[in-house]
Chains A and B, each alone.
Chain A
Amino acid sequence: DAKTTQPTSMDCAEGRAANLPCNHSTISGNEYVYWYRQIHSQGPQYIIHGLKNNETNEMASLIITEDRKSSTLILPHATLRDTAVYYCIVLHNNAGNMLTFGGGTRLMVKP
């Protein structure tokens, strides 16, 4: 699976958009980009995933660059409850259902 690089930490003001970047320059054509987050003392939470096109759901939007070497997760109106560690993962569809999280980005939403 391709390696990802994310900033260690970011701050965001409550009510503003949080834009979390992820670099995955070695991504291959059939690898998907997945985002999860983990709020302190809770299990990880699936957010969104995509292959080529931008995706949006009730939680977030995922913007993938045309060359697919990077992506951005956007939380349109961050709340204090969005404070968490956000993980960007690149997965091949036959990687055996195993999720592995790297360091992730610790997002702190401030009032």
Chain B
Amino acid sequence: KAGVTQTPRYLIKTRGQQVTLSCSPISGHRSVSWYQQTPGQGLQFLFEYFSETQRNKGNFPGRFSGRQFSNSRSEMNVSTLELGDSALYLCASSLAGGVSSYEQYFGPGTRLTVT
């Protein structure tokens, strides 16, 4: 079974631009979560989508948004990029809600650099 895929793997943007990252979950997984990982802050939860609806949201500004499509693929968007948005953005999929949702399978991440 194919794992979680994320595109692009690397991205360089300038301040003020916007960016869209894509995630394809493992086949059959309906929940997709997004995380930001930086050396200073560690792993931080952005949001989770399940059945095309945002089910949980972390503590990030409104510049960070996402969506999920009917095939469970998900995108996240960051508008008006800031230097501090430079990070590894990770997508994780899981089967469904409940306890099993913490059995999450991560993609390789998209490394975003904002200059």
* Residues of A bordering B, CB below 8 Å: 32, 34, 42-46, 49, 89, 91, 93, 96-102
> Which residues on B sit within 8 Å (CB–CB) of A99?
33, 35, 43, 45, 92, 102, 104
Q: Are A97 and B106 in contact (CB under 8 A)?
A: no
B99 nearest in chain A by CB position? A93
Known contacts A46-B103, A91-B102; A98/B56 CB under 8 A? yes
- In angstroms, how far is the closest chain A Cβ from the Cβ of B52? 16
Q: B residues engaging A (CB < 8 A)?
A: 4, 31, 33, 35, 42-45, 48, 55-56, 58, 90, 92, 94, 97-99, 101-109
Do A97 and B33 touch across chains, with their CB atoms under 8 A apart? yes
Contact B43 A49 (CB under 8 A): no
Provide the residues of chain A in CB contact with B97, threshold 8 Å.
Answer: 97
Chain A residues whose CB sits within 8 angstroms of the CB of B98 once the complex forms: 93
Q: Which 4 A-B pairs have the closest CB atoms?
A: A43-B106, A98-B45, A96-B56, A93-B99
Report A-chain residues with C-beta under 8 Å of the C-beta of B4: 43
Across the interface, which residues of A come within 8 angstroms of B44, CB to CB? 100
Beta-carbon nearest neighbor of A32 in chain B: B99
* Chain A contact surface mostly: loop
Complex CA gap A101/B35 in Å reads: 11
State the Cβ distance, B83 to closest chain A Cβ, in Å. Answer: 22
Across the interface, do A100 and B102 meet the contact criterion of CB distance under 8 Å? no
Query: Residue B106 contacts which of A44, A93, A100 (CB distance < 8 angstroms)?
Result: A44
A101 to B56, CA, bound (A): 18
Given that A43-B108, A98-B58, A99-B35 are contacting pairs, would A34 and B45 also be in contact in the complex, using a CB cutoff of 8 Å?
no
Say yes or no: B99 contacts A97, CB within 8 Å. Answer: no
Q: Are B94 and A97 in contact (CB under 8 A)?
A: yes
Cβ of B43 and Cβ of A97 under 8 Å apart? no
**B102 is contacted by which of A32, A43, A45, A102 (Cβ under 8 Å)?**
A32
Partner of B107, one of A32, A43, A89, A98: A43
Residue contact A45 to B43, C-beta cutoff 8 Å:
no
Nearest-Cβ distance from residue B7 to partner chain A, whole angstroms? 14
Question: Would you call B109 and A43 a contact (CB within 8 A)?
Answer: yes
Given contacts A43-B106, A43-B109, contact A97 B101 (CB under 8 A): yes
